[in-house]
Amino acid sequence: MTITILFGGSSYEHEVSIVSAITMKKVLKKSRLNFVFVSPQRDFYLIDTAQMKSKYFSSGDYRKNRQLTLKKTGFFLEGIFGSKPLESDVVLNLIHGRDGEDGKIASLLSFYAVPFIAPRTEASALSYNKLYTKCLAQSVGVKTLPYAHLSRHDERRVEMDYPVIVKPVRLGSSIGLSVVKSAEELDYALDVAFEFDTDVIIEPFIEDIKEYNQAGAWIGEWALSIIEEPHKEGFLDFEKKYMDFSRDARVNEAEIPEKLKADIEESFRKIYDPLFRGSVTRCDFFVIEGEVYLNEINPVPGSMANYLFEDFEALLVKLSRNLPVEENIIIDYRYIDTIHNAKGKA
């Protein structure tokens, strides 16, 4: 199978996307791979696999490569003798943050009928926004932490015990996020968050909260990963995150009771199905007094959460054969024809 790995993008997470893509080169050993880099200016470049090193991008050397055009059915190399398709069975969207996770890339690939692995537009738009993620969780019966929502021009009144955590609704990578210990600090944290977004959510901050990550996909049947208990030292700052996105070694399964494992898996399935079909998604859950709460959805997780699966490459192959099929809308112009026949004119 030939997998086209799409990475980069006009995103705060552009650099970690490069790291994720390099990790895929190590993980996907049996498949033929195309690497398609989306430059900060949103040009598409076909990158030779041998050049897949981070320095190649930071130096700007990638610009020596040929550009591609995205058109119906896939990417094309334009030449003097016309347009030549890039051979590919499936595109793996590995762009983190804006473009990749906000629904733009999903829309482009859907519109042009290019088979791809990633959430579709609607799932992306919802999970990219922490406020709408709450709605989504509620609509499928998965708990989330209580929260307050403030828009930029709202009165800054929050009825919540401190400490709280203030988050811009749309950004990943911990950008603009603060833990606030008392009411006096709230204003400053809101100023910071509103620098990045029109809307913020505020949640209780619970020290040493238990956190568990579950990834999975629907591949004609459920393919759920092991559950990991991530070892976080406070927040992941950007450099730690950078290292985190290069993970490719299998991790140990969290040692948790069977009942809790089943509850986490069930919560994952509720969130994922059917909205996230076509993707390998990772959900991060909190557990408080034995109850499962959705923290966040990672529609394009770092290094695709490959390290949580026994055989990640086999999973991608099966998933690529079970992608959601867009409804075929037949347009027969019967309304226009009916009205013409009735009116006898244009």
Name which position in 6, 28, 33, 126 contacts a second copy (CB under 8 A): 126
- Closest to 242 in 3D by CA, of 39, 19, 59: 19
Based on the shown chain and the rule CB under 8 A, indicate whether residue 329 belongs to the binding site for a second copy.
Answer: yes
- Binders in 273-292 for a second copy, by CB under 8 A: 274
DSSP state, 10? S
Q: Which stretch binds a second copy (CB under 8 A): 26-34, 215-223, 224-232, 234-242?
A: 234-242
Beta sheet of 178-180, edge-to-edge order? 148-151, 199-204, 164-168, 178-180
Number of neighbours of residue 187 by Cβ within 10 angstroms: 11
State in angstroms the smallest separation of the CB of 247 from a second copy.
15
Measure the CA angle with vertex 273, ends 124 and 267; round to 5°.
Answer: 100
Based on the shown chain and the rule CB under 8 A, indicate whether residue 249 belongs to the binding site for a second copy.
Answer: no
* 33 contacts 3 by C-beta, under 8 angstroms: yes
Name which position in 84, 87, 139, 311 contacts a second copy (CB under 8 A): 139
Distance CA 122, CA 177 (A): 25
Half-sphere exposure at residue 188, Cβ-oriented, CA atoms within 13 angstroms: 8
Based on the shown chain and the rule CB under 8 A, indicate whether residue 325 belongs to the binding site for a second copy.
Answer: no
Q: What character string, x for contact with a second copy (CB under 8 A) and - otherwise, covers 105-124?
A: xxxx-xxxx-------xx-x
Based on the shown chain and the rule CB under 8 A, indicate whether residue 149 belongs to the binding site for a second copy.
Answer: yes
- For residue 206, the one-letter residue type is I
State in angstroms the smallest separation of the CB of 10 from a second copy.
6
* 225 contacts 166 by C-beta, under 8 angstroms: no
* 112 contacts 71 by C-beta, under 8 angstroms: yes
Q: What character string, x for contact with a second copy (CB under 8 A) and - otherwise, covers 176-215?
A: ----------------------x-----------------
Binding site for a second copy (CB under 8 A): 10-12, 14-16, 18, 40-43, 53-55, 57-58, 69, 71-72, 98-99, 102-108, 110-113, 121-122, 124-126, 128-129, 131-132, 135, 139-140, 149, 151, 198, 238-239, 242, 274, 329, 331, 333, 335-340, 346
